[in-house]
Amino acid sequence: MRSCVTLVFFFIWLCCFGNLTVMCYKIPQAKLEILQNGFRVSIPHETGIENVAFNINRNRPFKGFEPGEFSGRIRTQAANQWFFESQRHLQDDDIIYVWTDVQYNKSRYRSMSSPITVRQTTPGGPSQHSNEVQPAFTTERSRVTSEEPLITSKKPPIIGEECESSLTTIRNRNICKGQLIFEENFDGTELDSSRWRYEVRLPLDVADAEFVLYDTNAELINGVLKIEPRLWGNDSPDTNIRRGHLNLGTRCTANQNPQVECQRQPFGQVVLPPVLSARINTKHAFTFKYGRVEVRAKLPQGDWLFPLLLLEPLVNFYGQHPYASGQMRIAFIRSNLNLRTREGVEEGGRVLHGGAVLSSEANTRDTFMANTSQDQHFGETFHIYSLTWNDRQLSLDVDGKNYGTVDGGFAQKANGYNNAWANSNYMAPFDQEFFLTLGVAAGGHGDFSDDYVSKPWANTSPKAALNFWRNRQSWKSTWTSPALQVDYVRVYAI
């Protein structure tokens, strides 16, 4: 045993002081800087580095060491840095993923950096030929920035006698228990862009993509947010979703794949989105971990519609696979006036669901959601929907009455979904910061099981959206009150 220990110490001495220095090089975390005409990713120079290659993805984690959306090999260092620059302008809510390849003393090293969140910053920075270096953004894992959290109530007192510490954090900052940390009453005539951003995009073509185009068609009327879906071309007689070309151009807010989310050319079984709707979020302005969310809303009524009252992950920390990082539903209904399974179970707008979504499969969508029912459609009037999220469970309420809880431990209960959860804490993947999303969707491959009577499309069919559209004469008359109406949104620390 003593001889083994001696060998270990001898190896360490060689690594640090002898001829095995090459074995000790560790690639540092990549640094992101916003420039006046794009962005820069860099690492510091060290004696021995011969060249460096950067591979960079925007809003899409790497599965391995594959080529990035942006990439380049740098042969010379400048200003004691190795850096790659692009003229691509980043959005303040983009997530940047980087892996770096370094040739150091004739050996090659590869390393994944932690995700980097682009935050709001004053435009401007060094040009490609400048040696000036701007302060870098911190990594998403630490989420420490110079921005103040968006807290819409009075400034909290110092934690102590006047302030009880809570589970809730905003960008790693603790908040006083019970404090109102976000409030939106939708006053005025336009959305407050400092809090909310429209998503202008097609749903990414994954297993549960909705049959919609999300655009800017939301309204504020008398202090109420109104998102009302409508048919493509208002269903005019000459409307044909199999012809034409859709290109959202610079308005597109694609999250992962601009080629899919920003444009569509109908061909064969591929059609334009049958429904136009809206979807807004606070990703750029307000994110938090643990708290109580309260939404007073009137949910949509109409066959094959459903509301989006969601908490979504700021970063796909547990991977890019759909729902690997989870989604929480504050309130969810299938807005059909009448909807039954082939076994006769009622699943329409009189049944309210809330909780976690961890699968894109329609037949397992409700596995981690609680539910309750009433005689009247939940879209008939306003209700107060609440989700309380802590480090042990999700708790669901409607009009102040609890209707269920969803306990954590998803790594054990949902074995096979994502092994990474098992290496984190009890609430994984719901142990990161999330943001608010509001909207209305229609159809899709993941929220309506093929077991529902009179469903006009099959989830696995490549003609699903087309068959949904062809059947519109049977369902568009049910859209008597298809809008989601939201009176207010409030978030409290717990």
pLDDT tens readout for residues 98-119: 999 999 998 999 999 988 888 6
Q: What is the CATH number of the domain that holds 378?
A: 2.60.120.200
For residues 162 and 156, the answer to whether their CB atoms sit within 8 Å is no
For residue 122, what pLDDT band results from cuts at 50, 70 and 90? very low
Q: What is the DSSP letter of 55?
A: E
Which of 363, 356, 355, 354 minimizes the C-alpha distance to 418? 356
The model's pLDDT over 336-363, given as tens digits with 9 standing for 90+, comes to: 999 999 999 999 999 999 999 998 888 8
CA distances from 251 to 185, 228, 259 (A): 26, 20, 14
Q: What is the CATH number of the domain that holds 128?
A: 2.60.40.2140
Q: Is residue 12 in a domain?
A: no
Which of 344, 367, 345, 346 minimizes the C-alpha distance to 356? 367
For residues 71 and 54, the answer to whether their CB atoms sit within 8 Å is yes
Q: What percentage of the chain has pLDDT greater than the value 70?
A: 85
Q: Which amino acid is at 266?
A: P
Q: Could you give the 3-state DSSP secondary structure of residue 214?
A: strand
Task: Look up residue 264 and give its two tokens.
Answer: 């569509």
Q: Which domain-ending residue is among 121, 141, 161?
A: 141
Instruction: Judge if 109 and 202 occupy the same domain.
Output: no
* Choice among 10-19, 263-272, 332-341, 366-375 with the minimum mean pLDDT: 10-19
Number of domains forming the structure of the chain:
2
Task: Look up residue 483 and give its two tokens.
Answer: 């809008």
Please name every residue paired with 387 in a beta bridge, in sequence order, or none if there are none: 293, 396
Q: Domain range holding 62? A: 25-141
Q: How far apart are CA 29 and CA 177, in angstroms?
A: 35
Instruction: Judge if 116 and 213 occupy the same domain.
Output: no
* Residue 453 or 1, more confident: 453
Characterize 477-486 residue by residue with b for buried, 16 or more Cβ atoms within 10 angstroms of its Cβ, and e for exposed.
ebbebbbbbb
Q: Which domain-ending residue is among 141, 161, 186?
A: 141
Q: Which domain-ending residue is among 124, 141, 158?
A: 141
For residues 184 and 488, the answer to whether their CB atoms sit within 8 Å is yes
Instruction: Judge if 240 and 314 occupy the same domain.
Output: yes
pLDDT of amino acid 142: 29
Report whether pLDDT(3) > 70: no
The model's pLDDT over 12-39, given as tens digits with 9 standing for 90+, comes to: 444 444 444 445 789 999 999 999 888 9
* Residue 360 or 287, more confident: 287
Q: How far apart are CA 164 and CA 175, in angstroms?
A: 9
Instruction: Judge if 192 and 62 occupy the same domain.
Output: no
Instruction: Judge if 230 and 373 occupy the same domain.
Output: yes
